[in-house]
Structure 1
Amino acid sequence: MKTIQLQRTQNSDWTYLNEKITLKSPLVLVFGKRELLEDEKIYEEVKNLFNDGHIVFGSTAGDITEEKVDNDSITITAIEFEKSTYEVRRLNILDSGDKANSTDTGRALVNSFPKDGLKHVFVVSEGSFVNGSHLTQGMNEAVNNEVLITGALCGDAAKFEKTLASYNENPKVGEVVAIGLYGESLEVSCAINGGWTPFGPERIVTKSEDNILYELDGKPALDLYKNYLGDKAKELPGAALLYPLKVKSDNENYSIVRTILNINEKEQSMILAGNILKGERVQLMMTHVDNIVNASESAAIYANKDRKKEAELAILVSCIGRKLVLDQRVEEEIEEVMETIGKKATICGMYSYGEIAPFNGEKKCQLHNQTMTITLISE
């Protein structure tokens, strides 16, 4: 595997972050600030750099490289697979005329790949209105929970206005892009960890619809949430990123963390980043910097522990909520991952609106919030 990384800001030229080499038919991951990706010449610009590349765009809440976490840049990671192959597919949720049709989109997208030899699927998805729980459900159905799927819901800093993605064209709204990796020698591992701690009483969901939470213990959910936040309730919906919900179902072995994306004062409801079902149990969560950094290290240890070969590429997807907690110390969680996985790996990734990966030790992918998700790849 060979890789090149470049980066530029609004008014700068492209800068190589490592040695400039020639790549053949590379997979080109272009992650960056949404406003910069809206430049109508951006696809042409990247295509001129990698004429025979397959180019995947995704907007972020921060770009991740070995060098730093950058909020105002576009970062390119171009990868030449020397022993493996890849294919790219894309669909747009808006093409069906139904924004809620995320299950069908996920199923159709992954079903479009040849299944023989498919080792891994990495997803770069629209992140502002997609139902990530439904999207992962559809993708799991397409592979019968037998192929490792990881990825990200694209971000838009902390603005939550719109997100962009695309394949071999200018980035646009509604796109879901999937990359399928094939090869006998290909080794892919992944892990997640959060570092959030529950507090307060556990409550039962008594009214919900998909990702909208209306009632807990028969009482308006938003009213209860505000009571716990106290003075910080004045900072909603932004403050909700610092106090997500632990969601536990009797049908799952693990708890899911759900970020609150928005609130509806009139209905006294909360809009979550993924589905929440009637009868599930929820609890507020909080964290601090050291817990988040330690959790990232633990995820890296788990992703790396049973590998036969040292990772050559590490794709890191962490949550915007974690970034807000870490603030000026945001790069510490990246540094912990780098120290654990070794110096051979090229580091790339993004801060996102949702992380796609299975729970550790499983194959069925899930939508996560507030986690560090690590995908390690080698040939």
Structure 2
Amino acid sequence: MKTVQLIKHKNENWKYLSKKLDLIEPLILVFGNRYLLEEQNVYTDLKEKFPDAHIVFGSTSGDITAYFVTDDSVVATAIEFEKTKFEIKTSNVLNSDLDSFVTGENLINQFTKEGLKHVFVISEGSFINGSELTKGMNAAAKNKILITGGLCGDDARFEKTLAAYNENPKPGEIVAIGFYGETFEASFAIHGGWSPFGPERVVTKSKSNVLYELDGQPALDLYKQYLGEKSKELPGAALLYPLNVKTEQEKQSYVRTILNIEEDTNAMILAGDIPVNSKVQLMMTNIDNIANASELAASQAKDIRKNEPQLAILVSCIGRKLVLDQRIEEEIEEVVSVIGDDVTVCGLYSYGEIAPFNSEINCQLHNQTMTITLISE
């Protein structure tokens, strides 16, 4: 495997972060600021440098490399595989009936199944139901394929997200990359570092990813009571106080970020489903817990491998980024300290992370986690 990384800032040309190499039919993962991805020449510029490349774009709430986290750039990671083959499939939810389950199912069913080892998904993050998307992908994968990835971001604006394959980035797009090969190896791990606090309450009214009532009371009113003065900063403040969700269907609890609020209905819009009769608690964290969770995720992803990793794709949550603030690079440094300086690192801060629970196979939508995918061949 050979890799090359480049970076582009507004009104500047692409600059190499690594040694310039001539690559043959590389896969290029391009993560960056949504405004910069809207520039007309973002695709053509890369295509001129890598004429035979397969270029995948995703907008972010921050770009990740081994050296820094940046908000105002586009980072391209070009990968030439020696033995691994890959297929790239797309879907656009703007061109469908917005059935996220069917979208996920159809996306995975596009792939040649024989020899398919791993699918990495870069999904639009503005209005997809990530829970239903992962359920649909699981239905098509039939517990035989590791699926990881994330929902694109748009800083903390939540206006729109962009993605694309071999064209200019656009709204509504979902891109999936399927990897094949006997020598290909992918491992993963997720950890959050968030702790529940306060009373546990029962969801008494919800629909899909909209939460209306807890213990028979308006959900938004209760949430504002907990936040006190911080409730004036909603919906942004909600990223610092997500919900821990327990359901009868899942063995493990999961975290749901509150993306928006509806004052007229006293409701909260979450990043994924919130089933009736599930139990929820508020969560909080601190910088040390987030950094420790990232280190733990890196250790677990590395420990279950047969071979040393060559590429690390990190998907972390916008909520973690807001907590870390000026110390944002600490969680990346923890990962690099575990996997080693010789591993190429790329990734994004997202609106949702896609991976199974640790030691499981069915992928789930997560919030507020560090999700690490380690790849080698």
How does 1:1-379 map onto structure 2 within 5 Å? 1-96=1-96, 98-99=97-98, 101-379=99-377
CA distance in 1, matches of 2:42, 2:211: 39
Structure 1 residues 330-351: Cα deviation after superposition (integer angstroms, max 9, x where no partner): 0000000001012221000000
Q: Any idea what SS the aligned residue of 1:363 has?
A: coil
**Per-residue deviation at 1:83?**
1.1
The TM-score, its normalising length taken from structure 1, stands at 0.99
> 1:311·1:344 contact (CA, 8 Å) conserved in 2?
no
Structure 1 residues 47-98: Cα deviation after superposition (integer angstroms, max 9, x where no partner): 11110000100000000001100100000000011011001000101111x2
Q: Any idea what SS the aligned residue of 1:113 has?
A: coil
CA distance in 1, matches of 2:56, 2:288: 34
Q: Which amino acid aligns with 1:26?
A: P
Q: Which amino acid aligns with 2:15?
A: T
CA distance in 2, matches of 1:325, 1:51: 40
The TM-score, its normalising length taken from structure 2, stands at 0.99
Which residues of structure 1 form unaligned runs of 5+? none
**Per-residue deviation at 1:34?**
0.1
CA distance in 1, matches of 2:349, 2:30: 14
Q: Which amino acid aligns with 1:356?
A: I
Q: Which amino acid aligns with 2:89?
A: R
**Per-residue deviation at 1:45?**
1.1
Q: Which amino acid aligns with 1:198?
A: P
Q: Which amino acid aligns with 1:95?
A: N
How many residues were matched structurally?
A: 377
Q: Which amino acid aligns with 2:117?
A: K
**Per-residue deviation at 1:40?**
1.4
**Per-residue deviation at 1:14?**
1.1
Q: Any idea what SS the aligned residue of 2:125 has?
A: coil
C-alpha RMSD of matched pairs (Å): 0.6
Q: Any idea what SS the aligned residue of 2:150 has?
A: strand
Identity of aligned residues (%): 66
CA distance in 2, matches of 1:270, 1:50: 44
Q: Any idea what SS the aligned residue of 2:224 has?
A: helix
CA distance in 1, matches of 2:94, 2:8: 31
**Per-residue deviation at 1:253?**
1.1
**Per-residue deviation at 1:249?**
0.6
CA distance in 1, matches of 2:135, 2:304: 27
Q: Any idea what SS the aligned residue of 2:29 has?
A: strand
Q: Any idea what SS the aligned residue of 1:247 has?
A: strand
Task: Give the stretch that moved more between structures: 339-348 or 157-166.
Answer: 339-348
CA distance in 2, matches of 1:366, 1:306: 20
Q: Any idea what SS the aligned residue of 1:166 has?
A: strand
Q: Any idea what SS the aligned residue of 1:208 has?
A: strand
Please identify runs of 4+ aligned residues in structure 1 that moved more than 2 A. none
Which residues of structure 2 form unaligned runs of 5+? none
Structure 1 residues 272-328: Cα deviation after superposition (integer angstroms, max 9, x where no partner): 000000000000000010000000000001101121111000000000000000000
